Amino acid sequence: MKRVLAAAVLLALSSVSVSWAAPPPDLELERLSASLAQLQKDPVLGRYAFGEQARAHDALLQLRATEGDATLHAFWAYIAQQRVDLAYTSAQIDDARAKLVQLQRERDRIQLEARQRELASLRMELAQAHLQNAAASEETQRLQAQGQSYAAQAQQAQQEAAQAKQLAAMQARAATLARREAQLAEQAIAAMQGRLDNLRAQPGPQGMQMTLEGDAFAPGAASLRPQAASHLGTLVKFVKSHPHAAVLVRGYTDDTGGTAANLSLSRQRAQAVADALVAQGVHAGRLHVEGLGEADPIASNATAAGRARNRRVVVILRGVGG
């Protein structure tokens, strides 16, 4: 009887400890909160889009309040993501507008100074002409003044024509740059697809492995680019070449952003690759997904090129040697 009572007491204490356990952290909330905080702390963009920042903050509060309700949580996570993205976009637009206003003011200042210099020069010429022609008739002076007025108007017209020509050249240059950027984007996608088609297995500590570089994902996104998902044939063949081997899918990020957000993003990207493999016929029971965030960098995070190398997903065939 005493043993039964003791077991009941232990069971009750165990249930109490479980009920008071801290809820798991909301990684999506932490990532979005960190992204909004980074915008607010930005010395340039943080000065703009206060309304959108406030609405993003309200959406995060709504997301925080959905604990325990998966459907509401997913809904408010989507809304909060859109609000944070909109706050960033609005801040960038406001910053661009402020810069444009500053450029227009600078242009107006330069034009005003040029006109003032031209006016001063014209006044000096008129004064010199008056001193040189003091003995001339009033009609001569009137004709000279009229001629000088025509010359000033012609000079102003020439200046306006030159400015219009310069503006047209700048617009043409901007269009050329836009086309070049589009070409570079297409080349980058083609290069990424080429790397995916030519992936090579490399020996690793736990077995043969293949590495997908971070450009297979859109910046800050967890899902594979459609252009990358359609070029995973080499990776699928690699995994299917040893159908009984366990597969470890590990995601990594660079050191930009918070630790919790990076862990969440790295795991989501690894899961996206695992889902793509399952969609290509790989048995889901073989796959184990891990997100290691900014751990184990393979390059320096001090440069953009190094950070790009650190953003990766590694697929490992456990126990399969080279």
- Is residue 3 over pLDDT 70? no
> The domain 199-318 is classified under which CATH number: 3.30.1330.60, 3.40.50.261, 3.40.50.720, 2.60.40.650?
3.30.1330.60
Say what percent of the chain tops pLDDT 90. 56
Q: pLDDT tens digits for 156-171?
A: 978 988 898 888 787 8
pLDDT band at 216 (very low <50, low <70, confident <90, very high): very high
The predicted pLDDT at position 9 comes to 36
HSE, side-chain direction, 13 A CA sphere, residue 275: 10
- Is residue 4 over pLDDT 70? no
- Is residue 140 over pLDDT 60? no
Q: Domain spans of the chain?
A: 26-135, 199-318
Q: pLDDT tens digits for 52-64?
A: 999 999 999 999 9
Question: Which of the residue ranges 18-22, 176-180, 192-196, 241-245 has the most confident prediction, judged by mean pLDDT?
Answer: 241-245
Angle at 307 between CA 304 and CA 313, to 5 degrees: 140
The per-residue pLDDT of the chain, averaged, comes to 86
Token pair in block for residue 243 = 């159908």
The predicted pLDDT at position 181 comes to 64
The predicted pLDDT at position 145 comes to 80
- Is residue 172 over pLDDT 90? no
